[in-house]
Structure formats: C-alpha cells, structure tokens
Amino acid sequence: MTAHPALRAAGATDVGRVREVNEDSFVMLPAVAVVADGMGGHASGDVASALAVGTFQSRFANLTPGRDDILDAVYAANSAITSEADRNPEKQGMGTTLTGVALVEQDGTPQWLVFNVGDSRVYRISSAGVAQMTIDHSEVAGMVEAGMITPDEARVHPLRNVITRSLGTWPAPETDTWTLAVAPDDIFLLCSDGLTGELEDHEILEIAATTLSVGGSIDNLAQRLVDAAVASGGRDNVTVVLVTPPPSLFSTPARPDDSSSESARPEDTSARHE
C-alpha cells in the first residue's frame, strides 16, 4: 500500500421522518469512502453498520489500499459483525449493506475501485447524466433483470426492501467490484436506499446540476440531496457521500529548466474515461 493525495469528499446523513434510530454509517478516508445501511432494527443494525465502517477506518486511515486489501477489509467487516452477534444473542440477525469507492493503484496508475454488497449504491455523476455503477443485490433487482417487473414497479413492490446479499452472514458474501479510469471531473455519489427510495435518478441529476452550476460545493450538494429525500417522505434513514479525485493527480510540476512551464490542465491529462 502506498500513500496518495487525499480524496475530496463530503457526507451528510439524516434519520428521516419515520425511523427512531439512524442505522446508516459512513466514513471518508484519504483514499476510501464507504456507506453502510444497517439492518435489524432492535437487533442492532446500527451496530452492524458501525462495525463495517469501523473496520475500514482502522485499516485505511492513512494508506491507499489495493483491490485485495479492500476485499480483505470487507471479509474482516463481515467477521466482526458475525462475531459480535455470536457474543450477544440479542444482536442475532443484524447485518448491513456496504458500498464504496477507493482510489487504488494498478500497474503504477491510480484507478477507481467501486465495490458493493447489498442495495446501497454508487453512482457516477457527469455531464452525460447519472449512471448507476453498482448492481443491487435485492429481490426486486432480480425480478427486473428477469423481466418480471419494470424498474418503476420495483420502486413500489412489496419486496423492494428484501436484499439477497449483506454483511453479517456466514459464509461471507461475495463482493462485487469494478475498476474505472480516473478523470478530473469525476463525481461519485455513494448512498443508502433512503435516498434512492425517495428520489429518482433524474431528480438526483437535477439537484446536482442546479447546485454545481451555481458554484455549490460537494458539501452543499450532499446536504441538499439528503434534505430533498427527507422532504419527499423520509421513510428511511438517508445517507449521501460524494467523492472527487485529488486535483494534484492531474497537475505536472514545472520543469527546473523552464520557468514558464505551467501545470498541465485537466483536459491535457491522459487519464480519461474509457
């Protein structure tokens, strides 16, 4: 593991209008950001999500991970949850989703690693729109893929909250991963389903476009998205984390023999979307 410039990240969370406890957790580290949506209610879903993000915080507080390091951390998070449940019978059945993005190094080049277990999501926001980068591990996602229901029907289906993969199970669940090129204008949105259950993708894009077009920061955008989900109903906990790459990844230091040399502009970099 090597050190890289820190990611730019911002996060916001809200318990919503219905739940008594916020079972979501998130962490923003120099090279990793994670969102976890706990499940279990009185069976301590908040404990499960906190254990998951705590595992990442303890491992990557100051270091840049590789892909295998991320997979090991997910496995360790799952073990932490199952061990806690074994020690405390009242916590049996607790679990959590886990979704995140990390700046990893592959063949000497920084790349994004998106990873996911459950139905929390990672989106990529760009001028082309909002693109979901993860695949939901849920009953309704499987039904949509099989052509049994439409995406609109999935949003209101009775099984929409039933997930098929989560941390807190044995054997440990498989982690989905995707590797993506890094570009200067990347904005990744990590969120629990409290956001996507209230806002459709086009509404997320509209809020993002409106906020960023007037010079709003990703901090402003994170809070606006959470506020919009709560205003739309707030039937679940809502958590949003936004991540952008360090600007220094795309700058070139001036050469000692050329005082007029300028840092390379983002559009000059060879690291582009594929």
Under CATH, domain 8-242 is a member of which superfamily? PPM-type phosphatase domain (3.60.40.10)
Task: Say what the pLDDT of residue 264 is.
Answer: 33
The three-point CA angle 131-128-250 to 5° equals 95
| pLDDT tens-digit map of 162-199 | 899 999 999 999 999 999 999 999 999 999 999 999 99
**Which are the contacts of 8, defined by CB distance < 8 A and separation ≥ 6?**
218, 243, 244, 245, 246, 247
Task: Say what the pLDDT of residue 248 is.
Answer: 85
Interstrand relation of 187-191 and 238-244 (parallel, antiparallel or unpaired)? antiparallel
Spatial separation of the C-alpha atoms in residues 84 and 38, rounded to whole Å: 14
Contact between 189 and 134 under an 8 Å Cβ cutoff? The reply is no
Task: Say what the pLDDT of residue 142 is.
Answer: 86
**Which residues of the chain register pLDDT less than 50?**
1-2, 254, 258-274
Task: State the DSSP H helix or E strand holding residue 216, giving kind and residue range, or none if neither.
Answer: none
**C-alpha radius of gyration, the chain, whole number:** 19
**Which are the contacts of 79, defined by CB distance < 8 A and separation ≥ 6?**
172
**Which are the contacts of 80, defined by CB distance < 8 A and separation ≥ 6?**
51, 52, 54, 55
